[in-house]
Chains A and B, each alone.
Chain A
Amino acid sequence: EIVLTQSPGTLSLSPGERATLSCRASQSVSSGYFAWYQQKPGQAPRLLIYDASSRATGIPDRFSGSGSGTDFTLTISRLEPEDFAVYYCHQYSYLRTFGQGTKVEIK
């Protein structure tokens, strides 16, 4: 099983700031089969990024994904009030596993 470790656990930032979320895999994720989701309280997760760097339909371009191998990053260029949420990474290269989440909170 590929274990995904997200860091930091919590990110305290102000609206307008840049957010950088990391996810490290215990072994290489082939072909960038990697996704990011956003989840707000009481809601289902929402797909943001798939195949490591492709934005899902309707996702603003302030969200971007990058990385390969074992290290992946989700960047939010300028935080909007609606971006404060929990973010999960997900690999679907072998089986399917998720990270434990990074909470982006208002500073």
Chain B
Amino acid sequence: EVQLVQSGGGLVQPGGSLRLSCAASGFSFGDYWMTWVRQAPGKGLEWVANIKPDGSAKYYLDSVKGRFTISRDNAKNSLSLQMNSLTVEDTAMYYCVRDQGCRGPNCFSYYQLWGQGTLVTVSS
């Protein structure tokens, strides 16, 4: 079955760190750009970061640059998001998604395959 299964997340204090993971199966993970999208409670969707198939290029939302790091291990079919210096504004459901139909060197694309989501709550 083609799927993305997420883990990690939880409650963390402001300034803290958290690592999200995403396990891919049923497709050739190393052939795809991968992305993290988040959704604050009751709000819309927001692109966070993406990574090239070989991991050689990574792009970030301005507000998370320098704090979040996206990475992948193609041998283990896994995607990660290391989140440091978290603020209350980072509170959201985070989705691991597979890019589809990439346009341009930064891979502007739509999202066919989504993980189930993992909740990150930043609160004191």
Interface residues, chain A, with chain B CB atoms under 8 Å away:
31, 33, 35, 37, 44-47, 50-51, 56-57, 88, 90, 92-101
Contacts and interface: CB of A to CB of B under 8 A. Distances in A.
B111 A47 contact: yes
Interface residues of B, number: 18
B115 A44 contact: yes
Given A47-B111, A92-B109, A92-B110, A101 B103 contact: no
Dominant secondary structure of chain A at its interface with chain B? loop
B44 A98 contact: yes
A92 B103 contact: yes
B115 A101 contact: no
Nearest to A92: B108
Interface of B: 43-47, 95, 100-101, 103, 108-112, 114-117
- Interface pairs A-B: 3 shortest CB-CB: A44-B114, A35-B110, A92-B108
Dominant secondary structure of chain B at its interface with chain A? strand
A98 B46 contact: yes
B44 A101 contact: yes
Contacts of B47: 95-98
A93 B43 CA distance: 22
A90 B43 CA distance: 14
Given A47-B110, A95-B108, A33 B103 contact: yes
Given A44-B95, A92-B109, 17 more contacts: A33-B103, A35-B110, A37-B111, A44-B114, A44-B115, A45-B95, A45-B111, A47-B110, A50-B101, A50-B110, A57-B112, A88-B45, A90-B45, A92-B108, A93-B103, A98-B45, A98-B46
A56 B98 CA distance: 14
A100 B40 CA distance: 12
A101 to B, nearest CB: 5
